[in-house]
Amino acid sequence: MIKKALLTLTALSLLASAAEARTWDEIKKSGTIRIATEGAFPPFNLMKGNQLTGFEVDLANALAQQLGLKVQWVTQPFDNLLIGLNQDRYDFVIASHGITPERQKAVDFANPHYCTGGAIVTHPGGPMTAAALKGKTVAVQVGTTYLQNVSKVPGVGDVKTFPKDTDAQAALLAGRVDAWVGDKFTGLDLVKAQKGKLVQGDLLFNERIGMAVKKGNSSLLKELNAALAKVMNNGTYAKISGEYFGQDIRCR
């Protein structure tokens, strides 16, 4: 009886360790770090042809270089990213996740790699403020802080969710919704590209954006934070940020 119980315990602990995230030592030994992103959230992470690019892709590549590692990129729909992380399909996620108390229950976040906010974009004459969203139809990407915050706006009309942020933008352009709420930098680019057809309204909320590791993977978190601090201090971060935004978007 006791023997059997012991065996079961051993089997369980083996299973548990097989399902554990790779520690820093294991990643370092392998020489390659597996990083996941969405690849559909310009200008932060996107596909250009079959090439993954964007501010966060360049930044994460710089972090890996700093850590002396090669990178294996994995792309996943936004809504699956943190689930896959907890299934150990990759070592960390960089996909513009706002650091929220809800997400902090599921994963651990690195120090923020940029600060931003959620802002309204609409057609000229459309709703520009939270108060003006009363009774209006708003498009947002599913699983995001935009959905969370727009849903809290008193009296807001229908909040339509889309698997991809770019689809939510397309709904606004097609006139199927009154407004789109998304990242303020993304919104600026969108308004610029649409030349007078869209305008940016109020900022609804601010957020700090961080990379996520599996809950408890403190050895990897420590290395990521150290590498981030290095590139923030040696000019690399400022250079990449300048290329995408014409300014340094780190949190201050």
Interface pattern 36-55 for ligand ARG (x via CB under 6 A): --x--x---x----------
| Least distance to ligand ARG, CB of residue 99, Å | 8
When binding is defined by CB under 6 A, the residue of 66, 76, 122, 145 that contacts ligand ARG is: 145
Total of residues contacting ligand ARG (CB under 6 A): 13
Residue 97 within binding range of ligand ARG, rule CB under 6 A: yes
Is there a contact between 112 and 208 (Cβ–Cβ < 8 Å)? Answer: yes
Q: How far is the CB of 198 from ligand ARG (least distance, A)?
A: 19
- Dihedral sign, Cα of residue 93, residue 19, residue 220, residue 102: positive
* Residues 6 or more apart in contact with residue 100 via CB below 8 angstroms: 145, 148, 207
Decide whether 75 or 137 has the Cβ nearer to ligand ARG. Answer: 75
Run of H or E residues at 161: strand 159-162
Interface mask toward ligand ARG for 16-35; x: CB under 6 A = --------------------
* Pairing verdict, β 107-109 and 40-41: unpaired
Of positions 46, 69, 95, 138, contacts ligand ARG by CB under 6 A: 95
Told to check if 58 binds ligand ARG by CB under 6 A, we report no
Please enumerate in sequence order all residues whose Cβ is within 8 A of that of 17, keeping only pairs 6 or more positions apart, or say none. none
**122 touches ligand ARG (CB under 6 A):** no
- What are the b/e assignments for 238-247, b being 16+ CB within 10 Å? bebbeebeee
Which three-class secondary structure state does DSSP give residue 64?
A: helix
Report the interface residues with ligand ARG, using CB under 6 A. Answer: 38, 41, 45, 78, 95-98, 141, 144-145, 165, 183
